[in-house]
Structure 1
Amino acid sequence: MTRSTVDHSRAAAAARAIEYMRGHLAEPLQLADLARVVPFSPFHFHRLFRDVTSMTPARFLAALRMAEARRLLLHTGLTVTAISGYVGYTSAGTFTTQFTRLVGTSPGHFRQLARLLAGRPCYVLAEALRRARTEVVRPRLTLHLPDSTPDDLVLVGLRTAGESSDASTAWAVSAGGTGVPVVARPGTYHTRVVLVRGHSTVAQALVDEEPTSYLVGASDLLLPQDGRARARIAIQPPRPTDPPALAIGPVCRLVETLIGRVAPGRWSGPARPVGRHAPATPAIALWLRPGGFARR
């Protein structure tokens, strides 16, 4: 059996488990339940799933639940308590805490801002970002997007490699083809990129997950103690084994800025753009190109 055949078989097994998760979000799924779907032993399934998706089954399931919760918040009038039950939580408080950690804003705040975003194409937000753009000094994560236009919206997330949390350490948002500033200390990070097409709305990409509305990319990157690091991340349409793009929090902060609720350049939480007086740390230059993911 060739390596490509093995990789395809492993990806297909993970995809079957993910499809089962999607159909049983309200149920208290255990690792053994998912392993039987494939079927593999729980230990082998856990390792296979993490190798294919870069997330454990439990974290991927949590991401799917939060993605469905976002859809229900935007498209229905259900209460937060009712939605928490629909996606498998017995406690609305636990659900709210998990939602806020992974999505970057509370369920109620998300519903309000997602409805503001629902009918706005990304090129409107990108244009407003370009008008409001302020000077940014080092450090910054610079994205060059040959397959992007200035109308696209780009989200970049960094998570410290090996960290137990599945929430990103830092997020940044920018118009396509522009520099995306990200505060990050030297170290190794798992980097995720979401590029939302200018003709699409944020809701189409990050809530409804319409395949033609966005591209994704991921890679492990090293930020050295000194100097600039260069890396290449490929972007492509989402695959069945790619986790949902959860962190709409940066876009919510953007909307708050654009409608005057937050002063320009001031973001709360870990997703904070580099300010004029940010401490000096290394920068990364990234090139995103269509095609398969780059290998280190």
Structure 2
Amino acid sequence: MSVDQTTARPTAQGLSAQRETVLLTVAAIREDLAAPHLLADMAASGFYSQFHFHRFFTRHTGTTPGRFLTALRMQEAKRLLAHTSATVMSVSDQIGYQSIGSFTTQFTRLVGTSPGRFRELVDTLAGHRLTDPDLDRARSADQRPLDCSLSVAEGVGSDLTGRVSFVGLFDAGLPQGGLSGFGIVQGSSGTVTAGAPAGPRPGQRELFLMSLPASAGLTDLAVGGGEGLLVSRGHVADGGEGADLTLRETGPLDPPVVSAAPALHLRSFLGRGPRR
């Protein structure tokens, strides 16, 4: 018998139980990315209806089960392409795609470049730190500016000194695909250059931030993680003047940063000096 409380507001105990179910679901997905992980099976594991499970999974993660699964698969594909010699076909198999064509299409759409070119990107960036590109030139100012103020969450134990933060403005609810705005922030405030909305929701766009130590490698930015990673997310109304973002450590319910757009952008401003 499934549980379905679509009209009642969940209690604190109910929210806790739902979050635990989502945590277990995400852990099961991470353990075997190649498995189908059908919505019906995920919901049944916690004795919920599909509709109710879908709704509270989205509440706790910020995205749907299917999109979360795809994001985890693309993140693992980036890791395998960056750090192993596995072929594109092997990578596709390992994360559960039966068609290499479907995998390549999905990867290109969400990451922003094809699997083969992503591997070339990683090779180009290898050995370079975040501060190696000309960050002043990379901070394009030819579009409408959106001011961003950054702070660190209580208990993180870190300030913004010696960090580089990358703020992406997306027309979707996940950090994937192309950017509609981009900013590089060193310190507690900076500017994102915001273009015209490209998606179907011109009233609101999503802000996603990745912050890494300045000594981190550019490959960490391309793959979407690394030691010392802090993240934040928020939204801004079209035409808004600014946003306040609080940086925190990543949690198990955070969807990974799939888009490689910031790294692709910085490659154009990378000097030709020897790698370190």
Alpha carbons of structure 1 residues 38 and 122: separation in structure 2 relative to 1, 3 Å: farther
Q: Which residue of 2 aligns with 1:190?
A: 206
Alpha carbons of structure 1 residues 174 and 166: separation in structure 2 relative to 1, 3 Å: closer
The answer on 1:14 being equivalent to 2:26 is no
How far is the alpha carbon of 1:151 from its aligned partner? 4.6
Unaligned runs of 5+ residues in structure 2 are 1-9, 152-158
Aligned pairs for 1:205-216 (under 5 A) are 207=223, 209-210=225-226, 212-216=227-231
The answer on 1:44 being equivalent to 2:85 is no
In structure 1, C-alpha distance between the alignment counterparts of 2:221 and 2:95, rounded to whole Å: 20
The answer on 1:223 being equivalent to 2:229 is no
Q: Which residue of 1 aligns with 2:164?
A: 152
Q: Deviation digits for residues 44-72 of structure 1, max 9, x if unmatched?
A: 11111111111110110000000000111
In structure 2, C-alpha distance between the alignment counterparts of 1:135 and 1:222, rounded to whole Å: 21
Q: Which residue of 2 aligns with 1:94?
A: 102
Aligned pairs for 1:79-118 (under 5 A) are 79-118=87-126
How far is the alpha carbon of 1:205 from its aligned partner? 5.6
DSSP 3-state at the match of 2:113: coil
8 Å contact kept, 2:208–2:234: yes
Q: Deviation digits for residues 145-194 of structure 1, max 9, x if unmatched?
A: 35434651413132257x9x964652524242432212134521222222
Amino acid at match of 1:112: E
DSSP 3-state at the match of 2:249: coil
How far is the alpha carbon of 1:202 from its aligned partner? 3.7
Aligned pairs for 1:264-275 (under 5 A) are none
Alpha carbons of structure 1 residues 166 and 205: separation in structure 2 relative to 1, 3 Å: closer
8 Å contact kept, 1:173–1:251: no
8 Å contact kept, 2:77–2:91: yes
Q: How many matched pairs?
A: 251
In structure 2, C-alpha distance between the alignment counterparts of 1:206 and 1:48, rounded to whole Å: 31
In structure 1, C-alpha distance between the alignment counterparts of 2:250 and 2:243, rounded to whole Å: 21
Q: Which residue of the other structure, out of 172, 176, 184, is the alignment partner of 1:174?
A: 184
How far is the alpha carbon of 1:229 from its aligned partner? 2.8
Amino acid at match of 2:144: P
DSSP 3-state at the match of 1:50: helix
8 Å contact kept, 2:231–2:247: yes
Q: Deviation digits for residues 108-153 of structure 1, max 9, x if unmatched?
A: 111111133243222334xx212x2566255122223354346514
178-187 or 188-197: bigger deviation: 178-187
58-67 or 241-250: bigger deviation: 241-250
Q: Deviation digits for residues 30-51 of structure 1, max 9, x if unmatched?
A: 1112223334222211111111
In structure 1, C-alpha distance between the alignment counterparts of 2:20 and 2:58, rounded to whole Å: 13
DSSP 3-state at the match of 1:35: helix
Q: Which residue of 1 aligns with 2:155?
A: none
8 Å contact kept, 1:17–1:38: no
Q: Which residue of the other structure, out of 242, 246, 256, is the alignment partner of 2:254?
A: 242
DSSP 3-state at the match of 1:152: strand
Unaligned runs of 5+ residues in structure 1 are 261-296
How far is the alpha carbon of 1:84 from its aligned partner? 0.6
147-156 or 104-113: bigger deviation: 147-156
Q: Which residue of 1 aligns with 2:217?
A: 201
Q: Deviation digits for residues 235-276 of structure 1, max 9, x if unmatched?
A: 21111100001111231232134258xxxxxxxxxxxxxxxx
TM-score w.r.t. the length of structure 2 is 0.79
The answer on 1:141 being equivalent to 2:156 is no
DSSP 3-state at the match of 1:32: helix
Q: Which residue of 2 aligns with 1:267?
A: none
TM-score w.r.t. the length of structure 1 is 0.74
